[in-house]
Amino acid sequence: MATNDTHDRLAVGPITDDDLLFVDDDRFAAGNVAVVTGAGSGIGRATALALAANGLTVAATDVDEGGLAGTGEEADRLGVAGRVESIVADLTDDDDIERIVDEAAELGAVRYLANIAGLQHIDAIEEFPIDRYDEMHDVMLRAPLYLSKLVVGRIRETDDGAGVVGNMASVHGRYVTADKVGYNVSKFGLRGLTQSIAAEGGDGLRAFSVSTGYVKTPLVTDQIPDTADQRGISVDEVIDDVMLGQSRVSELMDPVDVANLFVFGFTAHGSHLNGGDLLFDGGTTLTYE
């Protein structure tokens, strides 16, 4: 059972300008478009807002129409320099994936893609429902590949062929924990997709991934009770021992902290970030006691 203190630790306040990274970049202009998946909540919403705050037109897509409406309201509240345009779509549907990119192209030159949408399921391998795995694979790996295929084609058509694909990986794309086989496989695959785009890029086209520890998002908070049940521990122990047990930082990241990494990665300041992985995990994977 969660305590009030647990709720406080997982609470996320409204994004303000002070939270956002602002970067001068000639390509961060309303005529250029960033496609952001999972934009109805969590990291996807924060990334859509951060990119729009930096002047881009954002094609924000999610299966959750209400969530996207909330993202639009947040953009209005922030008074972003660019704009957020909602595209309700299902990443398990190829027609919807194609429509996302077509509608984004109607807004301007598609130069950026942030593959962020994700799912989670907690079960041991022998118990893992394969239909749930298929759904996770479609949303978290197949759709990013298909979107990348379509967006790279659009980037190649621009006047200078410059653009960036950013993929939301995870520490689980470097090492794994039990009972998350679907998530683990997808995150390892996203790093492979990132490096494949880099291998075929050049002349302004590049890709990077972002790997974080646990972030205060619905995907993370929703898995806490299942993890507690699976391991026979309390929800507070899940946070302290499972999520933060190896971290040298005692707090979970906010979604906007991750969004700022996408902002940096998309700018000219990240020109040598190609195929690389931005590891922001509080020391979780590279230190030990």
What mean pLDDT do residues 249-278 have? 94
Q: Write the pLDDT tens digit of every residue in 145-189.
A: 999 999 999 999 999 999 999 999 999 999 898 999 999 999 999
Q: Which amino acid does the sequence have at 37?
A: T
Q: Encoding tokens for residue 191?
A: 């790093």
pLDDT digits (tens, 9 = 90+) for 104-155: 999 999 999 999 999 999 999 999 999 999 999 999 999 999 999 999 999 9
pLDDT at 156: 96
HEC letters along 10-49: HCCCCCCHHHCCCCCCCCCCCCEEEEEECCCCHHHHHHHH
pLDDT digit string, tens, across residues 43-68: 999 999 999 999 999 999 999 999 99
- The residue among 185 and 11 whose pLDDT is bigger is 185
The residue to which tokens 């997709």 are assigned:
193
pLDDT band per the 50, 70, 90 thresholds, residue 12: confident
Of residues 88, 26, 232, 174, the one with CA closest to residue 242 = 232
Sign of CA dihedral 200, 136, 86, 68: negative
The first and second tokens of residue 136, run together, are 């996770």
- Confidence band of 247 (pLDDT split at 50, 70, 90): confident
Any idea how long the chain is?
289
Tokens representing 222 are: 């929703």
The residues that are catalytic are: 183
Q: C-alpha distances in angstroms, 280 versus 115, 221, 239, 272, 277?
A: 17, 19, 18, 18, 9
Contact present, 187 and 173 (Cβ < 8 Å): yes
At 5 the pLDDT is 65
Beta strands in 63-181 (DSSP E): 83-88, 109-115, 163-168
Res 6: pLDDT:
65
Q: Between 275 and 218, whose confidence is greater?
A: 275
pLDDT tens for residues 188-245? 999 999 999 999 998 899 999 999 988 888 777 777 777 778 788 887 777 677 666 6
- Residue 103 confidence (pLDDT) above 80: yes
pLDDT at residue 1 is higher than 50? no
Residues 6+ apart with CB under 8 A from 272: none
Query: Which candidate, 188, 185, 62, places its Cα nearest to that of 133?
Result: 185
pTM over 0.85: yes
What domains does the chain contain, in order, with CATH numbers? 27-215+254-280 (3.40.50.720), 217-252 (no CATH)
Q: Please list the residues that pair with 59 across neighbouring strands.
A: 35, 85
73-82 tens-digit pLDDT: 999 999 999 9
